[in-house]
Amino acid sequence: MGNPISQVGAPGNTTGVGAASNAGAKQLDRDAFLKLLVAQISHQDPLKPMEGTEFVSQLSQFAMVEQSIAQSARLDDMKAQLLGIANSDATSLVGKRVTMRGQTMSFDGITATTSAATLDGPAAKVAVEVVDATGSVVRTIELGPRPAGAFQVTWDGKDARGEAAPKGTYTLRVKAQTADGVPVSCTQDVTGTVTKVTFDKGYPELTLDTGSSGPISDLVGVVAPPPAEGTTR
């Protein structure tokens, strides 16, 4: 008579309970394992009784399945607790001034906007494209050669014709290259006050008053608030 337990799992599986235990607790729980084991003992071939070593091996596999179930439950609990702590920490950023990776910013139609960029190497030519919400380039600002490192990018709010651009959300896109035309890698940061934290994507996402938004993993730093009037440092 065939071995009932050896038939658990995918068709053609001959690895026995090991395959079921490797498949995880979702496929074979504690009660199902016991039922299969009892069924195997009850229906074994009298002419080919179970070997003692085989019985011990299956009991060991049962213990592994039970342990895996308990560990999975504990890990799920720990995950929920850590997620709650992370979300709570993220909400404490609301109202704070932070710097994070990003290119977008909100233009009020009057005040010049500033962004920060960092070149990974020296560039013979650096240009900044001001792109509106439709993807159109409003203006290209030529900055000339720049050494490696951080520098400020300022847009006065005017388009290529020298006229004031309408208020809205814009992107400052830095393009840098060497004298040979080889692109130079560049990272961009934006600084603003956190106005909202959302969790609908499964992770905390910050929204700044500059119009930029991004995952909390893009957070570069938190700017210390200015000292209150009448206090000494």
> Edge to edge, what strands does the sheet with 104-107 contain?
104-107, 168-177, 123-131, 137-146
Question: Do 123 and 186 sit in the same domain of this protein?
Answer: yes
Question: Do 111 and 218 sit in the same domain of this protein?
Answer: yes
pLDDT in tens, 42-56: 766 665 655 555 655
Whether 20 shows a pLDDT value over 50: the answer reads: no
In a domain, 86, yes or no: yes
CATH number at residue 189: 2.60.40.4070
Question: Do 108 and 181 sit in the same domain of this protein?
Answer: yes
Question: Do 43 and 84 sit in the same domain of this protein?
Answer: yes
In a domain, 61, yes or no: yes
> Sorting pLDDT into bands at 50, 70 and 90, what band is 14?
very low
> Sorting pLDDT into bands at 50, 70 and 90, what band is 67?
confident
Whether 38 shows a pLDDT value over 80: the answer reads: no
Average pLDDT, the chain: 76
* Model pTM above 0.85: no
Question: Do 53 and 109 sit in the same domain of this protein?
Answer: no
The count of domains in the chain is 2
Question: Do 56 and 101 sit in the same domain of this protein?
Answer: no
The structure tokens listed for 75 are 């890990």
Question: Do 112 and 214 sit in the same domain of this protein?
Answer: yes
Q: Provide the pLDDT for residue 5.
A: 40
In a domain, 28, yes or no: yes
Question: Do 157 and 78 sit in the same domain of this protein?
Answer: no
> Sorting pLDDT into bands at 50, 70 and 90, what band is 74?
confident
Question: Do 122 and 197 sit in the same domain of this protein?
Answer: yes
| Domain ranges, residue 79 | 5-90
pLDDT in tens, 136-179: 999 999 999 999 999 988 899 999 999 999 998 898 999 999 99
